[in-house]
Amino acid sequence: MRFRSSVAIDLGTVNTLVWVAGRGIVLEEPTAIAIDTAVGKVAAVGAAADALADKEPQDIEVIHPLRDGVIADLDATAAMLHDFLRRSRRFGVLRPNALVCVPSGATPVERRSIVAALGVRRPRYNVRLIDEPVAAAAGAGFDLTGGAGGFVVDIGGGTTEVAAVAGWRVVRARSLRKAGNAMDDAIAQAIRTEMGLIISQRAARQLKMTLGVTGGAEGWAEAVGIDAGQRTPRTDYVPGGLVATALEPIVATIAAAVHEMLSEIPAGLAEDVVRGKIRLAGGGSLLPGLAGRIETAAGIGAVLVEDPLRCVVRGAAEILERRGDLGKHGGPGLRQLASAQAGPFVSGYSRGWREMTAGSRPASSQPTTAATTGMPTRMNSRFCVGTADSSDRPSSGLSQA
Ligand code: ADP
Ligand code: MG
């Protein structure tokens, strides 16, 4: 892998981050794309698209193309990534390298869809996938060289990944489909039922951040929504107890999963885990009161990593950099698990790197579509993106297929 032409991508359900070798983190945007359905063009990508969510402007469809950590809409993901990478890249390499983090529980089809998302448009990428817990552990400050181990909990938007890792490999991992988005939904549902107030996901998210399971500093927070009976806007005070009660089942599930995973680790890892503590990463780990709950359930220390929202991409970048420093066989997760020649979807890997070639196609001469890859996608070729020559405006250079 030519280090200078590498990018690391944390393609999260809620946020996507891009790191470029020699430049650092160059992009952090919501995983969202807005389509102008009247003309079939991309109207906005990232933060600008997410800002339109819940507001239902005419002829605009806001798509959050990942669900539970995996691609649910291949076309939209490809268009979004293309735009993000066009903004991030400054090198003129024909086939740049991308290291993309994937949830440990992602199926082969889900892994393949990531490769396809970076391969359906030019420039095509040499894609390598890395298990997210390994990247999270690196970003959380664990040095996993020499077989050292650690325990990380990455609470994102769609999934919570609970994992024990050692020697740059996953030892045990579990992916729960309960994380930040489920918390937002639970809060919105409780406020509608208990207070007759319909609030947006954005408002629910704000209440979650302010109140958490502790009730926040004030013990209440203001929310604006639509009165369920009158159908008119209403402002109300939401008690912290209501939000804490709504969050309780999700927090309890996460804490129980951590406890369960700890009971499954090999005895040889126990000392590393106790010494290194449970490290909490991902935006969801910032929930007020969550770290304390996990610590209580686990019976060992739990600490929030520095800058939890960037932990995974920082870790992936560190792994790329180590690879750059140490050469082909010297760094973490460097086992070449499959070569492009061996075909992109060789099965039976253990953990760590998986090399796939974005341009490779599962069926020899077929274009990469949902039909040929069996990938989960709602629509195919609804819109396409121009080349890197297009201007920098997100909506330009985009036209209907
Ligand atoms: P993903 O990797 O799935 O995209 P992230 O790690 O970027 O997820 O985290 C996004 C999630 O973290 C969202 O659900 C967001 O609401 C939540 N989040 C961000 N900040 C906070 C906070 N201060 N308190 C609680 N949740 C938060
Ligand atoms: Mg994440």
- Percentage, residues of the chain above pLDDT 90: 68
Reply yes or no on whether the pLDDT at 342 is more than 60: no
Amino acid identity, residue 214? T
- Give, rounded to a whole angstrom, the gap between the first and last alpha carbons of the chain: 33
- Residue 324 or residue 196, greater confidence: 196
Residue 370 is inside which H or E element, if any?
Answer: helix 370-373
Q: What is the mean pLDDT of the chain?
A: 82
**Mutation probe of ligand 1 site: the residue of 11, 14, 254, 304 with most atoms within 8 A of C-beta:** 14
Tell me how far the alpha carbon of residue 398 lies from the centroid of ligand 1, in angstroms.
30
Atom of ligand 1 nearest to the CA of 16: 4
What average pLDDT score do residues 240-261 get? Answer: 98
Q: Residue for token digits 């932990």?
A: 311
- Ligand in closest contact with the CA of 184: 1
Reply yes or no on whether the pLDDT at 389 is more than 60: no
Overall fold of domain 180-246: Actin; Chain A, domain 4 (3.90.640)
Residues with CB under 6 Å of ligand 1 are 12-15, 156-158, 180-181, 205, 208-209, 282-284, 286-287, 309
Q: Which of 151-155, 160-164, 325-329, 361-365 has the lowest mean pLDDT?
A: 361-365
**Mutation probe of ligand 1 site: the residue of 16, 101, 287 with most atoms within 8 A of C-beta:** 287
Report pLDDT digits (tens) over 47-80: 999 999 988 999 999 999 999 989 999 999 999 9
Overall fold of domain 3-134+311-399: Nucleotidyltransferase; domain 5 (3.30.420)
Reply yes or no on whether the pLDDT at 3 is more than 80: no
- Residue 89 or residue 300, greater confidence: 300
What stretch(es) of the chain map to CATH 3.90.640.10?
180-246
Q: What is the pTM of this model?
A: 0.84
Classify the phi-psi angles of 216: left when phi > 0, otherwise alpha if psi is within -120 to 50, otherwise beta: left
Tell me how far the alpha carbon of residue 218 lies from the centroid of ligand 2, in angstroms.
30
Q: Write the CA distances from 86 to 226, 364, 388, integer angstroms.
A: 39, 28, 6
What stretch(es) of the chain map to CATH 3.30.420.40?
3-134+311-399
What average pLDDT score do residues 122-132 get? Answer: 90
Please give the structure tokens belonging to residue 211. 């109140």
